[in-house]
């Protein structure tokens, strides 16, 4: 009997110990971010997330000019351009590409490119300083900014392996994308112990976006079809329906990242309005750099001033040139017919309210430059982006 009591006590102890181990294991499994080691070499990955015609090309170039950044512009173009399916169907392929690129694995691009592709097969490759300078290309620029003509002549035949090797030498990998409409699919990237991901969410006044999209309707037609999926939409409503999807995506992303964030998103998401950048470029960009662990070098500060205080006007998609950023951001007020303004406001009302864009109530208001339609930013106070 004495041996039986010992065995029973031992058995109970072992069962308790086993239960504690299971609890600890479940805690580790369900809370991977709090128990994961830091990413190797403390490399930082930045997803510059926006929508078409929202100033993301300029913002991408701001990061591209920084000597610590490996930058790719719109790599997801290759997924959408190769696999013509609704956006919801492409989400996993999009996530897998982002994961690979953030880890400097460019072999993922081979699925969507010709056999034995060169660097020149990448979308807008000449806009990337890192693809136009050593070690990705033997050409050495005379200054830190891209000379696209020389890049085209000397770097177009380099293989992707050289670009991949170059990526590993930079402290930051920045990918600029406009083809992500929700965050949930990206959650595994935040939980990946090999990544140290940050998201910068760039938004713009939907009326300005709509006006710019109309000017680039032909270029955006294929993407519009993917956004709308199987919806049968009258031709005169297509632009508005696309805008509605874009605005809804902004609301969804902000709600997930700020209002109901999972623990692994805390401190890793920042939303910024294009209009705030246009009015106070150095202040806003410095804030973004601090968020991702970069410092503003003097030569980049000069470049930003030059690009945002010029006299030029917009030259269409994917072009970055010296212009008056504040005037460009307000151009819709004089060029977009009032009936279209009202319709955009109808389909984007929730997003405009959330993001701080004042509604236009009449054509007279729209034309009056004394009225500011950019409300004082509540984003930092109410959405936690300080």
Mean pLDDT of 224-234: 86
pLDDT at residue 67, as a whole number: 92
At residue 138 the predicted structure's pLDDT band, cuts being 50, 70 and 90, is confident
Cβ distance 293 to 39 under 8 Å? Answer: no
269-273 and 197-203 beta bridge pairing: parallel
Which residues neighbour 382 within 8 Å (Cβ) at sequence distance 6 or greater? Answer: none
Sequence-separated (6 or more) residues with CB below 8 Å from residue 358: 371, 372, 373, 374, 375
Share of the chain above pLDDT 70, in %: 81
Give Cα separations from 28 to 32, 36, 120, 134, 183 (angstroms). 6, 9, 44, 42, 23
Architecture of 42-104+168-382 per CATH?
A: 3-Layer(aba) Sandwich (3.40)
Over 90: is that where the pLDDT of 34 sits? no
Inform me whether the pLDDT recorded for 281 exceeds 70: yes
Q: Is the previous residue joined to 135 through a cis bond, with omega within 30 degrees of 0?
A: yes
Is a pLDDT exceeding 70 seen at residue 142? no
pLDDT in tens, 334-370: 999 999 999 999 999 999 999 999 999 999 999 998 8
How many CB atoms sit inside 10 A of residue 60's CB?
26
208 backbone dihedrals φ, ψ, rounded to 5°: -70, -40
Chain centroid, CA 90 distance in Å: 17
Residue 29 has pLDDT above 60, yes or no: no
Asked whether the beta carbons of 305 and 281 are under 8 A apart, the reply is yes
Burial-class residue 379 by CB neighbours within 10 Å (0-12, 13-18, 19+). buried
Average pLDDT (371-376) is 90
Which pLDDT score, from 0 to 100, does residue 117 have? 87
Residue 370 CA neighbour count, 13 Å, CB half: 2
The lowest-confidence range among 87-91, 146-150, 225-229, 328-332 is 146-150
* Secondary structure string (H, E, C) spanning 52-88: CCCCHHHHHHHHHCCCCEEEEECCCHHHHHHCCCCHH
Which residues have a Cβ under 8 Å from the Cβ of 274 and sit 6 or more positions away? 54, 55, 59, 202, 203, 204, 205, 208, 329
CA-to-CA distance for 178 and 74, rounded, in angstroms?
Answer: 7
pLDDT score recorded for residue 145: 64
Each residue's pLDDT tens digit, 285-335: 999 999 999 999 999 999 999 888 765 555 444 444 445 667 777 889 999
How many C-beta atoms lie closer than 10 Å to residue 77's C-beta?
Answer: 17
Q: Which two tokens stand for residue 181?
A: 């409409």
pLDDT digits (tens, 9 = 90+) for 168-197: 999 999 999 999 999 999 999 999 999 999
| Contacting residues for 115 by C-beta, under 8 A, at least 6 apart | none
Give the pLDDT of residue 20.
41
Q: Residue 15 has which token pair?
A: 């069962």
pLDDT, one tens digit per residue, over 106-137 is 999 999 998 888 888 999 999 899 999 888 98
Residue 33 confidence (pLDDT) above 50: no
Q: What is the pLDDT of residues 250-273, one digit of tens each?
A: 999 999 998 889 999 999 999 999
């Amino acid at each position: 009997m004495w041996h039986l009591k010992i065995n029973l006590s031992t058995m109970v102890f072992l069962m308790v110990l086993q239960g504690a181990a299971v609890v600890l294991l479940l805690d580790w499994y369900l809370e991977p971010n709090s128990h994961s080691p830091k990413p190797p070499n403390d490399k930082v990955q930045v997803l510059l997330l926006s929508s078409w015609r929202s100033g993301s090309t300029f913002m991408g170039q701001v990061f591209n000019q920084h000597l610590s950044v490996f930058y790719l512009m719109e790599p997801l173009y290759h997924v959408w351009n190769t696999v013509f399916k609704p956006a919801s169907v492409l989400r996993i392929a999009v996530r897998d590409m982002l994961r690979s690129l953030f880890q400097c694995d460019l072999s993922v691009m081979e699925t969507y490119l010709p056999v034995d592709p060169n660097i020149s097969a990448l979308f807008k490759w000449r806009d990337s300083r890192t693809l136009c300078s050593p070690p990705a290309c033997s050409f050495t620029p005379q200054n830190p900014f891209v000379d696209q003509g020389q890049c085209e002549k000397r770097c177009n035949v380099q293989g992707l392996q050289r670009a991949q090797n170059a990526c590993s030498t930079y402290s930051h990998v920045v990918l600029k994308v406009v083809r992500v409409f929700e965050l949930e699919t990206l959650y595994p990237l935040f939980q990946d112990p090999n990544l140290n991901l940050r998201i910068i969410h760039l938004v713009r006044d939907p009326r300005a976006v709509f006006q710019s999209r109309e000017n680039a309707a032909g270029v955006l037609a294929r993407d519009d079809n993917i956004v709308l999926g199987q919806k049968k939409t009258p031709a005169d409503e297509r632009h508005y329906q696309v805008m509605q999807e874009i605005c809804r995506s902004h609301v969804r992303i902000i709600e997930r990242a700020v209002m109901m964030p999972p623990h692994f998103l805390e401190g890793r998401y920042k939303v910024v309005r294009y209009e705030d950048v246009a009015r106070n470029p150095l202040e806003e960009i410095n804030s973004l750099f601090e968020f991702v662990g970069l410092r503003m070098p003097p030569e980049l500060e000069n470049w930003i001033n030059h690009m945002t205080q010029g006299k030029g006007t917009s030259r269409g998609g994917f072009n970055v040139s010296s212009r008056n950023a504040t005037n460009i951001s307000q151009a819709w007020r004089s060029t977009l017919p009032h009936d279209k303004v009202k319709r955009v406001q109808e389909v984007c009302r929730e997003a405009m309210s959330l993001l701080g864009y004042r509604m236009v109530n009449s054509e007279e208001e729209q034309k009056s430059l004394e009225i500011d339609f950019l409300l004082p930013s509540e984003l930092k106070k109410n959405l936690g982006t300080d």
